[in-house]
Structure 1
Amino acid sequence: MHDNQPRTITPDALPEVITRYLKAHHAHDTATAVTAFTGDATVLDDGNTYRGTAAIERWLGRSATESTYTIHLTDTQQTDTAHYIATHHLEGNFPGGTIELRYQFTLRDDLIEHLAIEL
């Protein structure tokens, strides 16, 4: 029986492409971060959808400069071979000062096809 419930995994069990994206994103390395996505990828963040690498690159560049914050990976989960969740705790100079964000990844051909960032 397959219940599609996420199960906790260790951070080093995340696929290389997710680790590469997260490290590049945290380092504000937009050029490297965007290489983790498929050409037709979508990102959902703050109620907006960004489609394709050009839009994702603009989103990455903007999100890197909007606020100053620290980010810590607090939980990693896997639903199946294409679906992963990386939960992060952020503290910074944004409204509220702290937040927990779930980065929900869908992979295709060893690249990120879809990323939804949710509370």
Structure 2
Amino acid sequence: MTDSTVRIGITELPAAVRQFVTALDTRDTTAVTGILTPQATVTDEGRTHTGIPSITAWMADAASEFTYTTTPVAAERTGTHEFTLTQHLEGDFPGGSVDLDYRFTLEGTLISSLVIAP
């Protein structure tokens, strides 16, 4: 944790972050259109997806590749508009389980950036 990092409860994350995570968990690509900026980016597995069409395609692809469950582990406010959600994933992907940080940046009430990494 940095000096500006503050642990928060999962329910204290901004609504857009909670809605995006729910959309990922339920594989609901249409749910993200109202919670992303038009030029939002998602970086996952070293690849960056820019814009809502690219992000929804990434979501559909990720949903078809593996079956997994997620469990929220921790949440932090890491800056004025930055939040990190740590999730534990278990599934049929290589290794079977992993903890991932979902680092969100908001622009107003919308998500402008998400970086997913261990």
Q: TM-score normalized by structure 2?
A: 0.94
Asked whether the 8 Å contact 1:72–1:88 carries over to 2, the reply is yes
Q: Which runs of 5+ in 1 are unaligned?
A: none
Q: Is the counterpart of residue 60 in structure 1 residue 59 in structure 2?
A: yes
1:112 is displaced (CA, Å) by 0.4
Give CA-to-partner distance per residue, 1:15-58, whole Å, 9 cap, x none: 01111111111111111024321001111100101011111110
Cross-structure match for 2:68: 69
Q: What RMSD in Å do the two structures reach over aligned CA positions?
A: 1.2
Identity of matched residues, %: 35
Cross-structure match for 1:48: 47
2: CA distance, partners of 1:4 / 1:92: 35
Give CA-to-partner distance per residue, 1:44-100, whole Å, 9 cap, x none: 100101011111110011111110011000000002230000000000000000001
Asked whether the 8 Å contact 1:43–1:56 carries over to 2, the reply is yes
1: CA distance, partners of 2:20 / 2:80: 17
- Cα 1:37/1:4, change in 2 over 3 Å: farther
- Cα 1:4/1:42, change in 2 over 3 Å: farther
Q: TM-score normalized by structure 1?
A: 0.93
Cross-structure match for 2:24: 25
- Deviation beyond 2 Å, 4+ runs, structure 1: none
1: CA distance, partners of 2:60 / 2:105: 22
